[in-house]
């Protein structure tokens, strides 16, 4: 298949029932997915979820056990990697150290016999704002500059589909955030179809038009970043994409518009439009930044949920916000993020507090509730950090 058959907007990618089995386990399990031409699509998930295997299947670096892969409407399932209209940018960059930046970018074009390889390479370098360094060797560049050279080398071939395999993982935090915005800008300018594989939630939400959260070889949920964050369908998505406070209890009442969940003597109301299950035992949730912390008992109002009183078990300053861990009897530990609009914390460790949130900010999950999903997980990073600190304090006091 010649790359020239595709237009400037790239091509759509379609996976039809794709499965990849290795001896002893299934890495990708009956995956069906369509990525429209010209979009920036992110496959997001933890290590071992199957996202990198999926990318390698699309690139032709792995053979599918079952299913079909179509690019631009043409079946490429049995096509060799070099025959596919695909280029990949790896985390390692894989630049030739003995070649200049320009020679690295024009290498693929020259191998294919393109007559104006130098001109096209300069155009690609101008796009990533590195043409002024065309004569340098890769070792003379910073990590961010090397990443841009790798990107220029990939897009100079005008692939219908560009695969990004954790391309920013080797960069420091500040440079990674800068490159996230630049990658998104470049994608909009060149108009290719981008498939980005990452375990970094912020990276996926910053750059992608559509995010698919993968878990155990399957797509757990797919949609726009805001949709996945505000309305997660499962506990896995709710906790992988940021943090969530999850509560499990029976539906104690319903109206035309909402359900009411019984929770240790409290009623938690969730709009029906934001809940996936409306009867029986259900799990509902609220994001930590949606919660409001009160040092005095607030007057109940119809539009708010109210929990409390509880005690602050931990206060952690993180710059932009302060994180509180609130223990409420019968409910468990609840994480609250409060923006630092004033100097110092709103309340200190040990203080009695109440929590409220707007009913329309809550969500209800599709999961069948199990004992393991009740309330906040006791293995989240914040809880473990608090437990470890308290253990160290106890050891110091004992010493």
Distances in Å between the Cα of 22 and the Cα atoms of 29, 45, 63, 115, 165 are: 11, 19, 11, 43, 21
Choose between 2 and 12: higher pLDDT: 12
Q: What is the pLDDT of residues 49-76, one digit of tens each?
A: 999 999 999 999 999 999 999 999 999 9
Query: Dihedral, CA atoms, 142, 146, 149, 153, nearest 10 degrees?
Result: 170
Average pLDDT over residues 252-279: 95
pLDDT in the model for residue 9: 56
Q: What is the pLDDT of residues 275-294, one digit of tens each?
A: 999 999 999 999 999 999 99
Question: Percentage of residues in the chain with pLDDT exceeding 90?
Answer: 60
Average pLDDT over residues 335-360: 88
pLDDT in the model for residue 314: 94
Whether omega before 350 lies within 30 degrees of 0, making that bond cis, reads no
Domain ranges of the chain: 3-229, 231-398
Tokens 């200190």 appear where? 348
pLDDT in the model for residue 177: 78
Among the listed residues 60, 44, 58, the one whose alpha carbon sits nearest the alpha carbon of residue 14? 58
Token duo for residue 141: 């560049």
Look at domain 3-229 and name its CATH class.
alpha beta
Average pLDDT, the chain: 86
Average pLDDT over residues 102-111: 90
Residue 95: burial class (beta carbons within 10 Å; 0-12, 13-18, 19+): buried
Buried b / exposed e over 164-190, threshold 16 CB at 10 Å, is: bbbbbeebeeebbeebbebbbebbeeb
Give the pLDDT band of residue 127 (cuts 50, 70, 90). Answer: confident
Q: Does residue 272 have a pLDDT over 60?
A: yes
pLDDT in the model for residue 109: 87
Distances in Å between the Cα of 312 and the Cα atoms of 68, 87, 273, 356, 392 are: 54, 51, 32, 15, 19
Instruction: Answer positive or negative: Cα dihedral of 218, 221, 224, 226.
Output: negative
Q: Are 130 and 101 contacting, i.e. CB atoms less than 8 angstroms apart?
A: yes
Q: At the topology level of CATH, where does 231-398 sit? A: OB fold (Dihydrolipoamide Acetyltransferase, E2P) (2.40.50)
Among the listed residues 285, 274, 178, 219, the one whose alpha carbon sits nearest the alpha carbon of residue 42? 219
Q: Does residue 357 have a pLDDT over 80?
A: yes
pLDDT in the model for residue 42: 94
Average pLDDT over residues 302-308: 95
Q: Does residue 223 have a pLDDT over 60?
A: yes
pLDDT in the model for residue 7: 39
Longest dimension (CA), the chain: 77
pLDDT in the model for residue 371: 42
Average pLDDT over residues 153-168: 86
């Amino acid at each position: 298949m010649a790359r020239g058959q595709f237009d400037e907007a790239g091509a759509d990618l379609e996976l039809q029932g794709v499965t990849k089995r290795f001896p002893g386990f299934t890495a990708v399990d009956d995956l069906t997915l369509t990525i429209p031409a010209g979009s920036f699509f992110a496959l997001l998930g933890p290590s071992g979820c199957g996202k990198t295997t999926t990318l390698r299947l699309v690139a032709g670096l792995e053979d599918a056990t079952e299913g079909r892969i179509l690019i631009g409407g043409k079946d490429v399932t049995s096509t060799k990697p070099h025959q596919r209209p695909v280029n990949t940018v790896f985390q390692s960059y894989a630049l030739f150290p003995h070649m200049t930046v320009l020679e690295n970018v024009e290498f693929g074009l020259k191998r294919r016999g393109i007559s104006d390889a130098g001109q096209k390479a300069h155009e690609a370098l101008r796009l990533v704002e590195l043409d002024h360094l065309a004569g340098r060797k890769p070792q003379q560049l910073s990590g961010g500059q090397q990443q841009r050279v790798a990107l220029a080398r990939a897009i100079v071939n005008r692939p219908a589909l560009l695969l990004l395999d954790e391309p920013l993982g080797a960069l420091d935090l500040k440079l990674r955030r800068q490159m996230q915005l630049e990658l998104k800008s470049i994608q909009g300018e060149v108009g290719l179809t981008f498939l980005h594989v990452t375990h970094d939630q912020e990276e996926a939400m910053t750059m992608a038009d559509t995010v698919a959260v993968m878990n155990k070889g399957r797509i757990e949920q797919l949609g726009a970043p805001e949709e996945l964050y505000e309305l997660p369908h499962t506990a896995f998505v709710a906790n992988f994409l940021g943090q969530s406070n999850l509560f499990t209890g029976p539906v104690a009442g319903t109206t035309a518009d909402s359900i009411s969940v019984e929770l240790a003597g409290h009623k938690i109301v969730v709009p029906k439009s934001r809940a996936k299950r409306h009867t029986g035992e259900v799990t509902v949730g609220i994001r930590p930044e949606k919660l409001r912390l009160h040092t005095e008992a607030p007057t109940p109002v119809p539009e708010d949920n109210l929990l409390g009183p509880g005690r602050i078990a931990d206060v952690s300053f993180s710059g932009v916000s302060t994180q509180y861990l609130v223990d409420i009897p019968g409910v468990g530990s609840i994480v609250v993020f409060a923006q630092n609009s004033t100097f110092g914390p709103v309340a200190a460790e040990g203080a009695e507090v109440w929590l409220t949130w707007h009913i329309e900010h809550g969500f209800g999950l599709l999961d069948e509730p199990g004992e393991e999903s009740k309330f906040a997980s006791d293995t989240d990073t914040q809880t473990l950090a608090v437990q470890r600190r308290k253990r160290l304090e106890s050891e110091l006091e004992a010493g």
